[in-house]
Amino acid sequence: MHSNRKNEIIYFDERSHGNSFFHLSMAGRTLPNPNYIICHSRKSGALWERYNFEYVISGKGYIETRDKTLTVGKGDLYFLNKLQQHTYYADKQAPYEKLFIVVEGSLADKMLEAHGVTESALVVHADARALFEQIIALSDRHEGQFIDAEAYTEISSILLKLIQLVKPPDFNTTAMDEHPATIIKNYIDYNIYDKITLAEIADTVHLSVSQTERIFKAKYGVSPVRYMLDKKLEVAKHLFITTYLNVTEVSKRLAFSDIKYFSRLFKAKFGQSPSRYMKQQEENPFVSVSRRIE
């Protein structure tokens, strides 16, 4: 941890080392400074070929893009796209205090692309402080050394939540010709780490529970609940391959309230218990997340 001339506390700075798959470049805190200003260019290969996510704790500031000026204040989360022209600075009378992270890599590219983020800058009012503090706590613990694969798994999960805050998908404004079963499938995929009920699924398409089950099974051959469970199990298998999470942690991550129930489902689908599957993976441990991710 160190401070810089901009009156920032830098908890983590690994800009000189890159990972083309996913990389946390910086994490820090900007303290109130009426002279604070940063400019981003559009030049490829420069410092700003990275994404900024920042959260304002107090005070006020401004973001200037090529075509507009945005004002940010307490409780605002803002996103700055890579390879865009930005000038952002603190208000002279009430300079902001903020938390920030800077990320890069193909995983971040794909996550933002999947959520349709193309804007140069986005500002939303969102309760995001805890997400930044989680990343900063993880990065602060790894000061002076590379972040390990397990920490990067946590950080990428938090990044997804931040992206969903700045650009949440709207399941109620889907194209009119999209099949309700497709909307249901997308909703389940999007919320795969959450505990959702059949009633909540039915609400996304404004149908009864029985109608929801009928139209989904007609298109995909299984009920929505069966699809959701199978999807969770596939994700669990993926997590066992690409992270150091144990059976209990994976079960909780996927919102299973009963680890024994999770283990029974996993064994029924894959022919072996989660613990046995994990032990099998230890015989071929992954070198990095980017090489083992599917």
160/191 same-domain check: no
154/176 same-domain check: no
183/161 same-domain check: no
- The sign of the torsion formed by the CA atoms of 201, 206, 207, 209 equals positive
How buried is 48 (Cβ within 10 angstroms: 0-12 exposed, 13-18 middle, 19+ buried)?
A: buried
Per-residue pLDDT of the chain (294 residues; tens, 9 = 90+): 677 778 788 877 666 555 677 888 889 999 999 999 998 875 544 456 889 999 999 999 999 988 889 999 999 999 999 888 889 999 999 999 999 999 988 889 888 988 888 888 999 999 999 999 999 888 777 654 556 677 778 888 899 999 999 988 766 554 445 789 999 998 898 888 889 999 999 998 889 999 999 999 999 999 999 999 999 999 898 888 767 788 999 999 899 999 999 999 999 999 999 999 888 876 654 433 333 333
143/251 same-domain check: no
160/72 same-domain check: yes
Structural domain for 114, as ranges: 2-166
61/127 same-domain check: yes
- Among 166, 183, 207, where does a domain finish? 166
Q: Give me the CATH number covering residue 226.
A: 1.10.10.60
pLDDT at 291: 34
195/226 same-domain check: yes
- Among 139, 166, 193, where does a domain finish? 166
181/102 same-domain check: no
pLDDT at 148: 67
Instruction: Give the model confidence (pLDDT) of 209-241 as tens digits.
Output: 999 999 999 999 999 999 999 999 998 988 887
pLDDT at 185: 92
Q: Give me the CATH number covering residue 16.
A: 2.60.120.280
pLDDT at 139: 76
90/115 same-domain check: yes
CA distance 71 to 74: 11
35/142 same-domain check: yes
pLDDT at 147: 61
147/257 same-domain check: no
pLDDT at 78: 97
Mean pLDDT of the chain: 84
- Among 147, 166, 185, where does a domain finish? 166
136/23 same-domain check: yes
Per the CB < 8 A criterion, the answer to whether 274 and 266 are in contact is yes
Domain count, the chain: 2
